[in-house]
Amino acid sequence: MKRRRGFTLLEVLVAIAVIALALTALVRASGQQAEALERERELTLATWVAQDALAELRLKESFPAIGRRTGRAAQGGDDWRWELAISATEQPAVRRIELAVYRAEAKSDEQPTVTMNAFAGQP
């Protein structure tokens, strides 16, 4: 009796199951990677909006007045809004600047995409 060479049906099914599991894990990992990349893009753009808003403030006013300001900006094809709060510190010649950047369509109770703190001193 000759013995045939090859794989049995059971061996083929097990191999297909192993390949299916591996492909499922790869698809899930690539989806998570795409989400992480989009989040990183969003953080980068929001950080640029915050840096631009701070730079504009410093160019317009070397020692900003206490108060709140808001504005809008376009960055990377997206619309953003920012809120700026300038407050006094224990040192009269220093102001604290708190900046929050949101997506333009974000609701008022949502967390900002980026927050940034800075200080300005009287020249």
Instruction: Tell me if 106 is assigned to some domain.
Output: yes
pLDDT of residue 1: 59
Distance CA 67, CA 71 (A): 14
Instruction: Tell me if 25 is assigned to some domain.
Output: yes
Instruction: Tell me if 2 is assigned to some domain.
Output: no
How many structural domains does the chain have?
A: 1
Residue among 122, 118, 123, 121 nearest 52 (CA)? 118
Distance CA 3, CA 89 (A): 89
Give the residue-averaged pLDDT of 101-117: 90
Distance CA 57, CA 79 (A): 19
Distance CA 85, CA 107 (A): 19
What's the CATH number where 56 sits?
A: 3.30.1300.30
Give the residue-averaged pLDDT of 97-106: 93
Judged against a pLDDT cut of 90, whether residue 8 lies above it is answered with no
Mean of all residue pLDDT scores within the chain: 92
Give the residue-averaged pLDDT of 21-42: 94
Q: Which two tokens stand for residue 46?
A: 């929001």
Instruction: Tell me if 1 is assigned to some domain.
Output: no
